Amino acid sequence: MRQVKDLPPAPKVLHKLQRLVASPDATIEQIADVVKLEPGLAARVVKMAQSTQFGRGVKATSIMEAIQRVGLAGVQELVTYAVAAQLIGQPLRSYGLDAQALWSRAVACAIAASSLAERGDVDRGDAYTAGLMHGIGLMVIDRHVAQQKTTRRFASAGYPLDYAAAETEHLGFSHAAAGAALLELWGFSAPVVAAVRYQLEPEEAEPEHRKLSMVLATARWARSLFCVPEETIPDLPAAHWLTESGVEIGDFGAWLGTVRRRYDITCGELRMG
C-alpha cells in the first residue's frame, strides 16, 4: 500500500455521511450539505434517486428532493453506490477487465450480498458496502504492477478463488488482502474490512465477522454467474457457506431469481458514465 503512489483519496464524504446517519439528531439538510461537497457525487446521487431501484422512476431535481425520496435509511446505500462508481472508473489491464465489467461485478455482488443480509441478522448496509468494494484490491494490484513497469496478466481460476492463486504466486498475497488493507487505511468499518479480507476463505474470519464474510463469499457466486462469461455455471458455494448466509438449497432458486431481477433493473438504469 505504501509503494503505490496514485491510489484514490479516501472517500471522506462517505465517512462524514456514515457519522451523520448514525446520529439520532441528523437532519436531511445536514446530509444534503455533506453530499454537496462533491459536485460530481451530488449529480450521481440525483440521477440515481430517479431510478426504479431508489425512487420508482420519478424525476428528482435537487439533492434535497433525492434524499427525501430515499429517506435516511436509503441515503447511505445510495451514496456508497455513488462513491464506488467514482472509485471504479478505469480498466484493469493486469486482469483484462474494462471499467464497465468491473462495475457490473461490483453491483451484482452488492445486490446479492444485501439480499442475503435481508434473510438474517447481518447489517444490510455493511453487506451492500462489502459487496461493492469486494474487488477494490484488484485496482491496488493493477496499479502496483503498472508502477513497476512490468507486463503481467493475472488469470482467474474461477469461483471461489478467482485471481488469488496467480496473485499469491507473484506477490505473496491476494486482492482480498490488498483490498482489506486499503479499506482499513480509508477508515471503513471493521465488519466490512474483515468481510473483504476473508471473502475467499470465510471460515478464517473472526467469530463476530464470520457471518458477513460468509454472505460476501456466497454473494460472489451470483456475481460470477451473472458477470463472468467463462464461468457460465460456477461451482455452487460450499453447503455451510449457504447455510450460514441464511439461504438453504431449497430456497436457492428463489433467492437467485430475486437477485437477478434487481441486477437487471440496476444495469439498465445505472450504468457508468
Q: Is the pLDDT higher at 270 or at 244?
A: 244
pLDDT per residue as tens digits for the range 49-93: 777 566 555 677 788 888 777 776 677 777 777 778 777 778 999
Spatial separation of the C-alpha atoms in residues 90 and 79, rounded to whole Å: 20
pLDDT at 216 over 90: yes
Residue 4: predicted pLDDT? 82
Is the dihedral angle over the CA atoms 241, 224, 181, 267 positive or is it negative? negative
pLDDT per residue as tens digits for the range 179-195: 999 999 888 889 999 99
Query: Which residues touch 149 (CB under 8 Å, ≥6 apart)?
Result: none
pLDDT at 273 over 60: no
Spatial separation of the C-alpha atoms in residues 110 and 182, rounded to whole Å: 18
Spatial separation of the C-alpha atoms in residues 247 and 256, rounded to whole Å: 10
- Domain range summary for the chain, segments of one domain joined by +: 9-87, 90-273
Residue 79: what residue type? V
Q: Both ends of the chain: CA-CA distance in Å?
A: 28
Provide the CATH number for the domain formed by 90-273 in this structure. 1.10.3210.10
Burial of 165 (0-12, 13-18, 19+ CB in 10 A): middle
Q: Is the pLDDT higher at 211 or at 22?
A: 211
Instruction: Among 21-35, 39-53, 94-108, 227-241, name the most confident range.
Output: 94-108
Residue 41: what residue type? L
Instruction: Among 99-103, 110-114, 145-149, name the most confident range.
Output: 110-114
Residue 198: predicted pLDDT? 98
C-alpha distance from residue 121 to each of 9, 14, 33, 50, 116 (Å): 32, 24, 32, 30, 10
